[in-house]
Amino acid sequence: MTNATPLITPADRIFVAGHRGMAGSAICRALQRAGHSNLLTASRAELDLLDPQAVQRWFGEHKPTVVVLAAAKVGGIQANSSYPADFLLDNLKIETNVIETAWRSGVRRLLFLGSSCIYPKFAEQPIREEALLTGALEPTNEWYAIAKIAGLKLCAALRCQHGFDAISLMPTNLYGPGDNYHPTNSHVLPALIRRFHEAAERGDAKVTCWGSGTPLREFLHVDDLGEACVFALEQWQPGPDELQHLNVGTGVDLSIRELAQAVAAATGFAGEINWDSSKPDGTPRKQLDVSRLAALGWRARIPLAEGLASTVAEFRDQFSQQLVRL
């Protein structure tokens, strides 16, 4: 249900953990647009979220009243495959340290940012929130997914046992300003943008993409996610018998092949697109059912074509200035 009176106010001291990441920076921008300018942030040098004592000291000194946990160790298929222990350990530590400390410190409201990878690989499409833990996960990112499920369940457990006001949002695949454009360790859309941009710059005749190109994916501009987070923080208060997490997406998907063609057009690549089917595809289809969030009054507003054009333009500008996260 939604509240007529906002559940957070401009007087709140809002700590955004992970404010320099793509999601965290978008959430900061959205909070500021909504009049929440009393933001608390800390760089990795200022606060190591893997260190429980450091997190406790920081909370004691800065006394946030609201927390948004957007910090996480993230990466694509190859990164998850290469560093499974890192993905599990680091994310479990970050979640436990921040969420438990927020609860013990008297934080009034917390938003945990999860991921749509928490759902089973072969979940019925579009994926409803109730699909959680009803089947096996996608093996290519199960370590990250297990950590995110643990964070979601920790929030739900603290609400159930201690009345801690913690909510969770599960966004679909994100793209937009501040993404990681590493050629192998990034997610599919930023990896395609970099690959096609460099191919266009070199005048390559062809580009080879991973997999078959047939999987279907949904993409949400990160500024839409920021707006959804503010909406949830201000208005969403789940009842005691309701699910404690909400899907965030567009409700629209397309094939990776169609996505590659759109990125090629946006970057000006005019060559041939080949597919290396020896590389893994991941989940065959992943589209979120966003009807619960829509019923509360929020919908995504940035079409993929518009968001892709602005993202490619910003990537090129930052790439030329050597400011891109590689």
Look at residues 303, 243, 255 and name the one whose alpha carbon lies nearest to residue 282: 255
- Per-residue pLDDT in tens (0 to 9) along the chain, 326 residues: 677 789 999 999 999 999 999 999 999 999 999 999 999 999 999 999 999 999 999 999 999 999 999 999 887 777 788 899 999 999 999 999 999 999 999 999 999 999 999 999 999 999 999 999 999 998 888 999 999 999 999 999 999 999 999 999 999 999 999 888 876 667 789 989 999 999 999 999 999 998 999 999 999 999 999 999 999 999 999 998 899 999 999 999 999 999 999 999 999 999 999 999 998 887 788 899 999 999 999 999 999 999 999 999 999 888 777 766 66
Identify whether 30 is part of a domain: yes
Domain enclosing residue 71, as ranges = 14-178+219-251+286-301
* Active site annotation includes 144: yes
What is d(CA 49, CA 226) in angstroms, rounded to the nearest whole number? 22
Identify whether 224 is part of a domain: yes
Tokens of 243: 């699910």
Identify whether 326 is part of a domain: no
Identify whether 115 is part of a domain: yes
Q: Of 119, 144, 175, 181, which residue is the catalytic one?
A: 144
Identify whether 206 is part of a domain: no
Identify whether 267 is part of a domain: no
Identify whether 57 is part of a domain: yes
Q: What are the residue ranges of helices labelled H in the chain?
A: 22-33, 52-62, 77-82, 84-104, 142-162, 188-202, 222-235, 256-267, 291-296, 304-320
Identify whether 311 is part of a domain: no
CATH number at residue 88: 3.40.50.720
Q: How many structural domains does the chain have? A: 1
